[in-house]
Structure 1
Amino acid sequence: MKNKTKHGLVTGLTALSTAIICQTSMTYASDIEIYKAPTTGGATLMFVLDLSGSMSQSVDQSVQKDFFGGTSTSCTSESKVVRTRFNNKNFDYNGTFCYISQTTYNGLSSTLKTKLDREVEAKTCMKEVRVFRRWQSGKWVNYDEMAYSCPDRVTMLVRSMFDLISGNSSVDGGKIATTNTPLPDTASIGFTKFYNATPSTETSPLTLKTENRETLLNYAKNWQARGGTPIARAYSRAAVDLVDHMSRVETACAGYGMYYLTDGDPSVDNSGTARTTVNPKLTEKVTTSQCYGTSDSQSWPCVEAIAQKLQERKNTEGAEVKTAVVGFGTAFNFAHKTTGNNVVYNPETTYTDKMLSDYFKDNTLAAAKAAVKGKGGWYSASNTSDIVNSVQNFVESIKVPIPAITTGTAAIPQDHLNPIAIQSYAYFPQFQPKPSEDFEAWFGNLKKFKVKDGVLVGQSNTKVFGADGELNTSTKDLWVNGASADLQVYGGLLSKLNLQTFTDGTDFARAVYTNAGGSIQKVNLKYMQEKIATGNNKYLLGALGYDLTETELDELAALDSLELTNLANKEQNRSIGAIMHSTPVLLTQSGKITYSDTKKSNETVDRNDYILFGTTQGALHVVKTGREADTYATGVTPASYDGGKEVFTFLPEEMLSAQPKALLSEPNTVGNGMDQLYYGIDGAWTAHTEYVYNTTSDKFEVNPSSGKKGKQWVYGGMRMGGSSYYALDLTDIDQPKIKFRIDPESSKVYKTNDVFGTIYGDLSKMGQSWSKPTIAYVQWKGQRKLVMLVGGGYDPQYENFTAGKTTKGAGVYMFDADTGNLLWSTYDASVGDKSRLEYSVVSQIKAVDREGDGDVDHLYFGDLGGQVFRIDLKSNHSSSDAKADFAKITRLADFKETGKYAPRFYEMPTFSVYRNATGMFAVVSIGSGNRSTPLLGKVIDSKYVVNGESGIENLKLLNDAIYNIYDLAVMDTNPAASTKGPSSITRTNLKKITDNDRELASEDDIAGEGYNENSTYKGWYYEFTSSASVNNRKAVEKVQSDLVLLDSDLYVSTFDAEGVGSTESCGAGIYGSSRAHRFCMPYGQCGVDDTVDSNTMTLGKGLLGITLGQSEDAQGLPYRSIVGPVENRNPSSNKILNTLYRNKIKLTPYSWYERN
């Protein structure tokens, strides 16, 4: 393997960025578009529909039989238009109705009256005042009387199809109108109808896209009832056509069903013909003893035999086909033979012939047996809504479950206690995107793994990734230790959550805090008793571990006093939100630093560590990490092991207001799915920690038991969950406190002692809080001030890839890190390129301490308009100096081109310093890529997948690139006054390097070829063009994560929209893949045999970042390396995996200064 050892001042400044290198970046923004819903999944249904004469009023007086008690009750037939509207078109059916007067109604039995009233309420029958005529006093006179008009069976059938296909129907110009959710686009339906001895399939199953829905509606609106009921022949015909359909599609991608609706006994049937029809499609034939003759009594037993074969996959396509039997109307339904009560099919019951014989008789019994063998069950339907409900239930029962995709990127967070070291533990946020579901909440988990030999391993050294780079979901993480057996299946944090009540039943077990009213409060029983009925506090019961519906929550909120007994025996809600963008932050409360002679480096022992992260559920979590000796080295789990134990969860009141249902279980978050996804606290957080040395314990501590206290303050935002920034004081981690909240929506900063807030007008210009806070010291008004620096934020208009200048989010803001007061923003600046700040700034702000005195001198950042800036801070800013004099803004580069869409910079640049023959120079590296629309440039079936993108629009994009700018001025004594190098560098000022240029063996050395920092070129760039053949398509591969700069090696991760993604059965999966690229700095050229191929590595499917980890070699010496999603490192083929970094730290005091 290649070993690299740090040495000298040239790379000294890059060592300062090691703290950031460990922070692994993950997916961002509308990157949920990469999660692919099933395109061919769902349910495929063949309707087998009885259109015999008994379905008609004119033939069999079905209306009197179904609604008015029999043919002895007279009714008057009439024709009425049944209409559905779909795609701005009307589809009409001339339905047959029959009505009775109020006088006739009054003569009906109470049972019939109740039934008729129900049908009116269900919008099956109409109740309206009409004009009647009667002979009175020798003449005909008109009078008003209530009329009840009901449809015949075929009319109800047609109307139910309207509701299922288009989601609405009405009668007679808008009366008794219904609206409902139609069958989903992923479903397919076909029609086989029968009314004579030769049934026919009107259409094989069609997917329910717009044009096919219109086709199906046109079929249904022409149905008429007449003739007989050839039960077996109709079923066999439908089975053949369904199997033929399956041969043309991916059978693994759908559930299949036969929906058999009939209203009467068999007639004009031939079971022998049914047998010969279906047998060619069966791998195990139906015998003559099962299907024979023309006797109608053999029809249902024949259907039973065929249904069993189909359900057992004994068809030529090997797919399971379920069969449901629906008895329609009063003449044929599944009522108990003795009581007459409806018998409901229970799919959990194992029905025996004896049980069925106790319920039914004759053909009803035979049909029930067929429904049981077909595993679809039986239904009784008496009206339109019964048919609709039975179809929807059957569809749900046959749908193929789409397995959720588990995805995520491991993070090895910065170690504040020992910043020169990297921990050998990774924290793996995992979540399950469900793009095919209507859930507005996605859920996840956090797991802890070990980095061993440069790869992730779980318990017993089991690899986290397989040979193909896929996640091994069976690997047990370290936190699962100590979990009860029934919870180990969850693994990670989920296996350790303390939910509902303590074992003694005295209070809630989970430590949940919220800030309703300004100050932070613990949500205990007393809190809920006082506040459950106000606001959205009732939803906090979901966070406390109770699986409750809205109705149950309302009932509990209405109680005079909530008691824990009211919550007894409730199911658990064990869930945390998805961790998509909130990289875990390591918080160390105490530890001892020692020197290891064996490892030749510092190490830390006796640590007290925690992990902090936010989730889309709207919660901020703090969790114990567990100690190394407890989790891995000994191989034994002591009883005291506390890894994975949640210390507390913080739920901001604004989250409780904005997305309270996110705290409930998944089924209770049904809504518009991905279009209205909850994002919660999904921003990146950071920590500022100051330790106090304890001479007694020889430890560095944040919160010693006595004497001076240290500090542990954390800061973070919401990302797409909102625009606020929060600061919490976790010095006493068991008693969290809110320091302040920055709220751009109200233009205020709120503090515990200032609940009404202080107004700062410029806050209204901030966007969503995407920028990870940078905490640093600056010289401000004659004082050394700890500040929080953030970008202006994200304007949602950038969800459109054509968006230009922003109305929100431009510039940089600087807040007092202790009080939250707004000290300065780029709107205050009077010198430099302030007017150029016209686009959102969403990245973390890169802070550079040029003088080594602990105070920041320069800020670097890019924006979503293709610009790169440097801000030079005044290091001697005095108490009398104005805000306007605090900084000078310089636009270093503008990479927009006329007629093109600007490249976008979502991530913080890196800053590094190098020596040349004449001195030193800096390189600012920054990568472009559209995180809001990562699928830009992707084509499926010759169409661009991003809304609004076309061939013409794509040509207006620039290929995304890694840009490297030579900043000569920053090395001057007074950079703000320097004249070195032009402002506003463009792409034409940079050397474009190609794959050939990246290997010195192939091309001349750029350092000596007139392209270096002393030439007319002001840097270089390299365009990414996708691993696939994309012809001239632009912006297919994009920089999508933080850059990693280590010992003159620059690592860039990209997302390739055309890369090979992950596709599960039924078309669900993840679009695209991520790659890591290595560039040798400062010129992007590596040595002989360092080819582009050897410096490129696939990271995996979806949006993944680069992780830098630490391991030990065979001699026990530590080294750093890129941790790849691989089963084993291959030292011979890939330079990214092959390069090891060894850090020999030597501290030389050049100067001393007192830090106040």
Structure 2
Amino acid sequence: MNKNKQIPSHWMRFKVSTLAASVTSLILAGLPVQIQASDIDIYQAGGTGTTKIYMMLDKSGSMNHDTYMKQDYGNSFTTKGSWWEWWDTTTEVCSKGTTINSSLYNSLKVGEYNYTIKDTDMYCQVDLSKTFDTDDAGYKAKIKKLCVLQSGTTYNCYNRIVNLRKGLISLILDSTIGKDIQLGLGVYSGSKAENLQDFLSMDPDTTNKKTLINKIQKITANGGTPIATAYNFAGKVYIDTSGSSNTSESCTGNGIYFLTDGTPDGDSANFSYPSGLTKKTDKNLVGTGSYSSYWKEIGYYAQSIRAHNKKVKTATVGFGGGYLTSDDAIITQGDKKYFDCSKVGTANSNERNLCLWGSKTIPNGTGSEGGYGEGGFYTAQSSEDLVASLKSFITETTVPIEGSTIGSSTIPVDALNTNQLQPFAYFPMFKPLIGTQDQLWIGNLKKYNVIDGTLYDINKKLVYSNATDFNTALKDYWFNSSAAQPDQVISYGGNLSQLLGTQLPKLDGSNLVLQRKVFINSDSSAGELKSAESILKSETLAEREYLYGLLGYSKLTEADLTALRQKSYTEQLTYLKTKDALKGYQLGSIIHSSPILLTQKGAIVADTGSLGSVDRDDYVLFGTTQGVLHVVKSGTQNAQVINGSGIASGSGEEVFSFVPKEMLARQKKGFFESMAVEKASDNNDNFYYGIDGPWTAHTVYEPNFYDAIVDGKTVERDGLQVKADGKNSHQYVYGGLRMGGRSYYALNLSDMSKPKLMFHIDPDSATSGALSYMGQSWSKPTVAYIKWNGQRKLAMIVGGGYDMKYEDPTFTSSSSGNVKGNGIYIFDAENGKLLWWGSSNAGNRDGTATGGVETKIDGMVNSIPSRVKTVDRDGDGLVDHLYVGDLGGKVFRVDLNPSHKANDVNNKFVLNAFEFADAKEAGKNPPRFYEAPTFTIHTNTVAKKYAVISMASGDRSSPLKSDSSAQDMILGFYDNDVTKTTPAKGTTVKLTNMNEIYKAGAATDKTAGWYYRLPIITATSGGNSKSYQTRGLSEGVALDGDLYYSIFDPSKTNNGSNGSSTSCSGGIVGVSTAVKLCLPSGKCGTDTKITTVGDLGGGIIGLNVGPGSTQGSRKLIFNKPPEICIGSDCTQNSITEYQTANKLLPTRWYDMTPYVGAK
């Protein structure tokens, strides 16, 4: 994908912009329900919010006194008693051969900035070529570290006020200190504090940096050290002022950088608390003598301003030689550094309290550090140290704006009663890590309630805290309280909590039991899959040790795997018994593999108070980018849970997971939590996509008659079931990998305890022939019956797939052999044998009764990643026509012969296969079709039937780019030939033969169809204008003469609610909006412009049909009711409801006239 470099985020706030009703029933398969975005460009890293640092600086007399240069640059240091009396045991400063000068010379520079010399500035010059003492190595090393090389062996050592100014100027001039950093400046001495500069953004395109530097240059040192007074003053800078930007307070990092080289002096312990600031006294800083009251109030105040909604952190800095400490005072844990305050001063001393005041809580520490300022304690001996401490504090204070995600909840149709939708949503969450080296995005899947079109957890707590952001600690139907909860958003509850709570490895006596069931196709043959444990025992499959990452040891390291390779299976288990700390699971993200509902049994009941079915056995199937296909128990709720109790046992537990062998070879490091970090931040070539393709199920039930007890009475149930033996019933699932590879897999799940591989279509192993032309397996399989050699045959129909050449938005293919995926394929759905394919690469071959039929389709030269639209015209349950678009702007129709017989030249499998339409405009790149068309039948004024083939174009590979000259459109092609008894091969439909709708003065007399040009939006930012093509990136929905599409506008950014930046979350670039047209002409009555129904939310969001106000009604689902605004007057838009009883348009067209084969 085309990636933008982004600042990595540390955590994510997860959101979904719309509910999605995913229709899993084959009966309603014609309703498009899911979006299949190929790219991840729309997910933007959170980056960081505005960071505001108020620098409160000590300018007391000790900052510019030659006595204190003895502390800073003396030969050897010991501590002597009181706060400010840390000095060299020798009386010489800068020692032999040096001089303390009263003023600096005029050549001092800070970077490219000319430092303005003051008469009071002092320094000493040290020539290290001289001999000082017999043991002077430590002294010379200190001079090299703290002083500035002038020339040769000569160093200039500056006093504290010079180092302070130099350090601050260096920081301000640093290119990494940009517009998102705001700095304010205060100083204190004598008995007061004062503000020198309100907050200024360090935007390099303004004069703000110069302004602040000028203020710093004017700081002079004199007087006492009123620390408490200064701190009270600095806190009020935040509490007394409102935010200066439209960024949420939770997005703004606030901090006080408090620097001193002394002790409380000439001070007052009387802190005043502004209105709205509550005094917090949870911890107490204890001082000695006259300082006791100062420290107590300082500690209270630090806790109070940190607990305020502005969350003001405090960092404290001990400046100068009086705070020189040993290196062992720094404690490193991971990438974090902490200060051990026990290394500073003595208990209750001023210096110890200064450290505790700012220190951060040390994980697993003694508990003495932290709890007050939480910004960190730093010692600074030089201007470089000061810069480092300020940068570190800025990092600590900066709030990472949590990147947001988008996903479509699945509200499945009840497979046993297709007139109802279950009131549950299956909700994918994942954590985008843009601009990092992470190859895997972690995720989770949860199950929530749907009440009045909104998501709730099992305690009837809203899933959303506002229009975009999640509430935390939500309990879904799959929440497991015994599981570790690393956070309260993504890993809280869901399938992941069930894995962590119920399926971690455990000891049974002295035996280690691996509880998770993981299956692999260890070879290419069909049949029962092999368990991961059996493969580990067999010691034959390469890299098999990586499977332990999926068996409950996701925290193993490469060193652990190396050790495991040297051991037998029994020895490996013994080794793992000692690795409890390395237990864990992670799930990949669910980006495009929308969950599907699998129902193995149940019975329909006439009870309006329930779901309409009982005794269900439901499962959910989904793929993740980790390369794993999961099957989990959905739960057997017959009614919604809204009080937190009554959850069905086992809900959310994984029944098994399937790992294609190719994933073990291709992305095995994704099985572990810290290994998949080899992706270049600006390149996704080795991003782990895993099993990211959409899957589909085909279920055939058989009767299940049984008795049940209801209200104490025995009643007879007439149920349906899938039996494990599969003789009269079955449950098959089919799917591909999308950008994870080129394969298709089919599994027999009739017996959930023993999943079987039906077949594996593996284009990678084909060096020639039909399969070798297949691209990445993007096309969602259509599973339906066809007429084959005079018999009904279950078939899997897919588009040829995707070629990475289309990552270039200007790429198009004009001849055969340029790309992969330029074809249509029909496979036997029970054994995977290729029955037929059509392409410009194919020949014209009749084949045999077992397959091998192929049809040359000359214009089919571009990839076909979309689902293939199938049409059963006469209600006999057999597919009669295929429609599909390609990435070259063309649409193809294939007419299957209802009288096909092998080796009969008069009854070939395909009657017609041809280029039905071409949407390319002269002189422009062709538009691209990534989704299947919508097919509807109409009758004209002379009672003649014709079809409207509706499609929307848009480049999903590069949704944010406008490099292509293609004009995207919504189109309605008229097909007058498909309705004939023997369908005719018509003339290719061109734009020149179609009416352009909603355009003043456009022709209205064209007879081949209509089209609507999607707007090109011009957006201006920073004085620069850029054009954005709005795009149609989802299938349409046709309901009772109305035609709906979702249109993606890449010019908008969804940092919060529809482009605002008031929510503390990362951006999703682009917003989707639902629009309505009318069939068959495209235009709705006398309307002069297309109807906007409402915003669907940020990102690429498809249209979805869900339950209306009654069980028998349907309507488009929105996350929040859309509004119609005229000026500032907004009213809620009424969403049309469609009644299912004889009103919802059927998904199949049944023609009363016969459909015959050849004439």
Residue by residue over 1:910-954, the C-alpha shift from the partner in whole angstroms, topping out at 9 and shown as x without a partner, is 1122233242111111112333344x4xxxxxxxxx5xx5xxx69
Give the direction of change, closer, same or farther, for the CA distance of 1:193–1:665 in structure 2 (3 Å limit).
Answer: farther
Q: Does 1:817 align with 2:829?
A: yes
Amino acid at match of 1:722: G
Give the direction of change, closer, same or farther, for the CA distance of 1:213–1:658 in structure 2 (3 Å limit).
Answer: farther
Aligned to 1:584, which of 591, 595, 608?
595
Where 2:884 maps in the other structure, the secondary structure is strand
Amino acid at match of 2:503: L
Q: Does 1:680 align with 2:671?
A: no
Q: Does 1:507 align with 2:513?
A: yes
Q: Does 1:1103 align with 2:1100?
A: yes
Amino acid at match of 1:965: F
- After TM superposition, give the deviation of residue 681 of structure 1 in Å: 2.0
Residue by residue over 1:491-514, the C-alpha shift from the partner in whole angstroms, topping out at 9 and shown as x without a partner, is 433343333125747412222334
Give the corresponding residue for 2:494.
492
Q: Does 1:333 align with 2:324?
A: yes
Q: What do you get for the CA RMSD once the two structures are aligned?
A: 6.5
Give the corresponding residue for 2:782.
774
Where do residues 444-463 of structure 1 align in structure 2 (5 Å cutoff)? Answer: 444-449=443-448, 459=458
Residue pair 1:53, 1:60 contacting (<8 A) in 2 also: no
Residue pair 1:809, 1:839 contacting (<8 A) in 2 also: yes
Separation in structure 1 between the aligned mates of residue 842 and residue 89 of structure 2, nearest angstrom: 86
Where do residues 91-240 of structure 1 align in structure 2 (5 Å cutoff)? Answer: none
Pick which of 496-505 and 662-671 moved more: 662-671
Residue by residue over 1:790-849, the C-alpha shift from the partner in whole angstroms, topping out at 9 and shown as x without a partner, is 223334454454444474443333444344455534144458984433433221111223
Where 1:563 maps in the other structure, the secondary structure is helix
Residue pair 1:465, 1:1125 contacting (<8 A) in 2 also: no
Give the direction of change, closer, same or farther, for the CA distance of 1:434–1:660 in structure 2 (3 Å limit).
Answer: same
Separation in structure 2 between the aligned mates of residue 61 and residue 485 of structure 1, nearest angstrom: 50
Residue by residue over 1:232-285, the C-alpha shift from the partner in whole angstroms, topping out at 9 and shown as x without a partner, is 5997898899999986445553212234566x547xx9867x999x99999999
Residue by residue over 1:877-899, the C-alpha shift from the partner in whole angstroms, topping out at 9 and shown as x without a partner, is 55448999857442222222234
Residue by residue over 1:856-904, the C-alpha shift from the partner in whole angstroms, topping out at 9 and shown as x without a partner, is 3322112233222223345555544899985744222222223444333
Aligned to 1:978, which of 955, 968, 985?
985
Q: Does 1:826 align with 2:800?
A: no
Separation in structure 1 between the aligned mates of residue 797 and residue 913 of structure 2, nearest angstrom: 15
Where 1:891 maps in the other structure, the secondary structure is strand
- After TM superposition, give the deviation of residue 325 of structure 1 in Å: 2.3
Gaps of 5+ in 1: 1-13, 132-146, 169-181, 287-296, 749-757, 937-945, 998-1005
Pick which of 487-496 and 645-654 moved more: 487-496
Aligned to 2:581, which of 570, 584, 588?
570
Separation in structure 2 between the aligned mates of residue 604 and residue 425 of structure 1, nearest angstrom: 13
Give the direction of change, closer, same or farther, for the CA distance of 1:91–1:872 in structure 2 (3 Å limit).
Answer: farther
Gaps of 5+ in 2: 1-22, 79-87, 117-122, 280-288, 360-369, 707-716, 845-854, 1125-1130
Where 1:679 maps in the other structure, the secondary structure is coil
Residue pair 2:512, 2:573 contacting (<8 A) in 1 also: no
- TM-score, scaled relative to structure 2: 0.70
Give the corresponding residue for 1:541.
549
Give the direction of change, closer, same or farther, for the CA distance of 1:215–1:791 in structure 2 (3 Å limit).
Answer: farther
Residue by residue over 1:741-798, the C-alpha shift from the partner in whole angstroms, topping out at 9 and shown as x without a partner, is 4444xx32xxxxxxxxx54455555443322122234456777654433223334454
Pick which of 729-738 and 438-447 moved more: 438-447
Q: Does 1:1083 align with 2:1085?
A: no
What is the number of equivalent residue pairs in this alignment? 1023
Give the direction of change, closer, same or farther, for the CA distance of 1:77–1:1028 in structure 2 (3 Å limit).
Answer: same
Separation in structure 2 between the aligned mates of residue 39 and residue 1120 of structure 1, nearest angstrom: 42
Separation in structure 1 between the aligned mates of residue 728 and residue 373 of structure 2, nearest angstrom: 72
- After TM superposition, give the deviation of residue 622 of structure 1 in Å: 0.7
Aligned to 1:993, which of 997, 1000, 1003?
997
- After TM superposition, give the deviation of residue 686 of structure 1 in Å: 1.2
Q: Does 1:1020 align with 2:1026?
A: no
Separation in structure 2 between the aligned mates of residue 15 and residue 1042 of structure 1, nearest angstrom: 16
- After TM superposition, give the deviation of residue 731 of structure 1 in Å: 2.9
Q: Does 1:25 align with 2:34?
A: yes
Where do residues 333-732 of structure 1 align in structure 2 (5 Å cutoff)? Answer: 333=324, 342=329, 358-359=346-347, 361=349, 363=351, 365=353, 368-369=356-357, 374-380=373-379, 394-400=393-399, 402=401, 405=404, 407-413=406-412, 420-434=418-432, 438=436, 441-449=440-448, 459=458, 476-480=475-479, 490-497=492-499, 498-502=502-506, 504=508, 506-515=512-521, 535=543, 537-538=545-546, 540-541=548-549, 544=552, 546-547=554-555, 561-563=572-574, 566=577, 569-570=580-581, 573=584, 575-592=586-603, 605-629=614-638, 631-632=639-640, 641-665=649-673, 676=684, 678-692=688-702, 700-704=720-724, 708=727, 710-732=729-751
Separation in structure 2 between the aligned mates of residue 922 and residue 212 of structure 1, nearest angstrom: 61
Where 2:594 maps in the other structure, the secondary structure is coil
Q: Does 1:904 align with 2:928?
A: yes
Separation in structure 2 between the aligned mates of residue 528 and residue 907 of structure 1, nearest angstrom: 42
Give the corresponding residue for 1:1039.
1032
Separation in structure 2 between the aligned mates of residue 165 and residue 555 of structure 1, nearest angstrom: 50
Give the direction of change, closer, same or farther, for the CA distance of 1:353–1:970 in structure 2 (3 Å limit).
Answer: closer
Give the direction of change, closer, same or farther, for the CA distance of 1:737–1:848 in structure 2 (3 Å limit).
Answer: same
Give the direction of change, closer, same or farther, for the CA distance of 1:1038–1:548 in structure 2 (3 Å limit).
Answer: same
- After TM superposition, give the deviation of residue 17 of structure 1 in Å: 7.9
Residue pair 1:590, 1:699 contacting (<8 A) in 2 also: yes
Residue pair 1:26, 1:1104 contacting (<8 A) in 2 also: yes
Give the direction of change, closer, same or farther, for the CA distance of 1:469–1:69 in structure 2 (3 Å limit).
Answer: closer
Separation in structure 2 between the aligned mates of residue 796 and residue 213 of structure 1, nearest angstrom: 47
Where 2:1105 maps in the other structure, the secondary structure is strand
- TM-score, scaled relative to structure 1: 0.70
Where do residues 1042-1057 of structure 1 align in structure 2 (5 Å cutoff)? Answer: 1042-1057=1035-1050
Give the direction of change, closer, same or farther, for the CA distance of 1:1152–1:345 in structure 2 (3 Å limit).
Answer: closer
- After TM superposition, give the deviation of residue 613 of structure 1 in Å: 0.9
Amino acid at match of 1:721: G
Where 1:911 maps in the other structure, the secondary structure is strand
Separation in structure 1 between the aligned mates of residue 207 and residue 892 of structure 2, nearest angstrom: 54
Residue pair 2:894, 2:912 contacting (<8 A) in 1 also: yes
Give the corresponding residue for 1:869.
892
Give the corresponding residue for 1:929.
954
Q: Does 1:847 align with 2:878?
A: no
- After TM superposition, give the deviation of residue 448 of structure 1 in Å: 3.2
Residue pair 1:612, 1:622 contacting (<8 A) in 2 also: yes
Give the direction of change, closer, same or farther, for the CA distance of 1:499–1:633 in structure 2 (3 Å limit).
Answer: closer
Residue by residue over 1:1007-1050, the C-alpha shift from the partner in whole angstroms, topping out at 9 and shown as x without a partner, is xxx96xxx642112334559999999976543232222344443
Give the direction of change, closer, same or farther, for the CA distance of 1:422–1:927 in structure 2 (3 Å limit).
Answer: farther
Pick which of 846-855 and 388-397 moved more: 388-397
Of Structure 1 and Structure 2, the greater helix share is in 1
Residue by residue over 1:1045-1097, the C-alpha shift from the partner in whole angstroms, topping out at 9 and shown as x without a partner, is 34444332233444834645346344454333344432345579x99898723
Give the corresponding residue for 1:323.
314
Residue pair 1:1056, 1:1074 contacting (<8 A) in 2 also: yes
- After TM superposition, give the deviation of residue 625 of structure 1 in Å: 1.9
Pick which of 605-614 and 67-76 moved more: 67-76
Separation in structure 1 between the aligned mates of residue 475 and residue 966 of structure 2, nearest angstrom: 45
Amino acid at match of 2:505: T
Amino acid at match of 2:425: Y
Separation in structure 1 between the aligned mates of residue 114 and residue 675 of structure 2, nearest angstrom: 35
Residue by residue over 1:8-47, the C-alpha shift from the partner in whole angstroms, topping out at 9 and shown as x without a partner, is xxxxxx9998522566313612355254635634564749
- After TM superposition, give the deviation of residue 739 of structure 1 in Å: 3.7
Separation in structure 2 between the aligned mates of residue 1027 and residue 492 of structure 1, nearest angstrom: 40
Where 1:570 maps in the other structure, the secondary structure is helix
Residue pair 1:334, 1:364 contacting (<8 A) in 2 also: no
Residue pair 2:691, 2:738 contacting (<8 A) in 1 also: yes
Where do residues 31-42 of structure 1 align in structure 2 (5 Å cutoff)? Answer: 31-35=40-44, 37-38=46-47, 40-41=49-50
How many percent identity over aligned positions? 30
Give the direction of change, closer, same or farther, for the CA distance of 1:552–1:15 in structure 2 (3 Å limit).
Answer: closer
Give the corresponding residue for 1:143.
none
Give the direction of change, closer, same or farther, for the CA distance of 1:566–1:270 in structure 2 (3 Å limit).
Answer: same
Give the corresponding residue for 1:754.
none
Give the corresponding residue for 1:137.
none
Residue pair 2:866, 2:885 contacting (<8 A) in 1 also: yes
